[in-house]
Amino acid sequence: MNFVIMCIIPLFIIAILLIGLKEKKDIFKLFVEGCLEGLKMVYRIFPFILAITIAIGLLKSTGALDFILIPLRPLLTKFGIPDDIVPLCLMRPLSGGASMSVVMDILKTSGADSISGKMAAIIMGATETTLYTITILFGAVGIKKMRGVLIAGLIADTAAIITAIILVNVGIL
């Protein structure tokens, strides 16, 4: 099985070369044009990635996330939501990397079998980096009207977070 897996990419490359030769295409020229298109896409996407990265860094470094938690603590306690889950819920729609670092911190401090650890695992698996994905994809293509997609994505993320909280608090997981 490992041999087959190791052979897939070389066989794919050989197949492309054979098809290109059969159809009498300039394979190298097509390859270079594809690379150029890829670079153009990176050039269009990069400002959006940079802006989101800076915004996430500012949220974390200024302590804004901690400040947001202060008025929410009574409500969180009432619904059985640990404090360390809130930064994950706020960061997940913005950045996969930042939310992964929050999850790693939760797993180090609370453990994988804790309430926080279980909720964090479900939230990471069931949600998407909605704002990041929409910003990158729609920005690269130039789509300006994204309200419906944004609302649907955030509703899906919210439903996944609520489901994670319920499943863990009820004891199903």
Q: Write the pLDDT tens digit of every residue in 31-66.
A: 899 889 888 877 877 777 777 668 767 877 888 877
Q: What is the DSSP letter of 126?
A: H
pLDDT at 125: 93
Split into its structural domains, the chain has a count of 1
Query: Residue 30 domain-assigned?
Result: no
Query: Residue 51 domain-assigned?
Result: yes
Query: Residue 7 domain-assigned?
Result: no
Query: Residue 63 domain-assigned?
Result: yes
From the number of C-beta atoms within 10 Å of its C-beta (0-12, 13-18, 19+), residue 12 rates as: exposed
Where in the sequence is the domain holding 94, given as residue range(s)? 42-170
Query: Residue 5 domain-assigned?
Result: no
Query: Residue 26 domain-assigned?
Result: no
pLDDT at 2: 80
pLDDT at 144: 77
pLDDT at 93: 87
Dist CA 93 CA 65 (whole Å): 14
**Cβ pair 112, 168 in contact under 8 A:** no
Query: Residue 4 domain-assigned?
Result: no
Q: Is the pLDDT of residue 117 over 90?
A: yes
Confidence of residue 123 (pLDDT cuts 50, 70, 90): very high
* pLDDT per residue as tens digits for the range 68-103: 778 888 888 899 999 888 888 888 888 787 788 889
Query: Residue 6 domain-assigned?
Result: no
CB within 8 Å of 132: residues ≥ 6 apart: 52, 93, 94, 95, 96
Confidence of residue 107 (pLDDT cuts 50, 70, 90): very high
State the amino acid at position 156 in one-letter form: A
pTM: 0.65
pLDDT at 63: 81
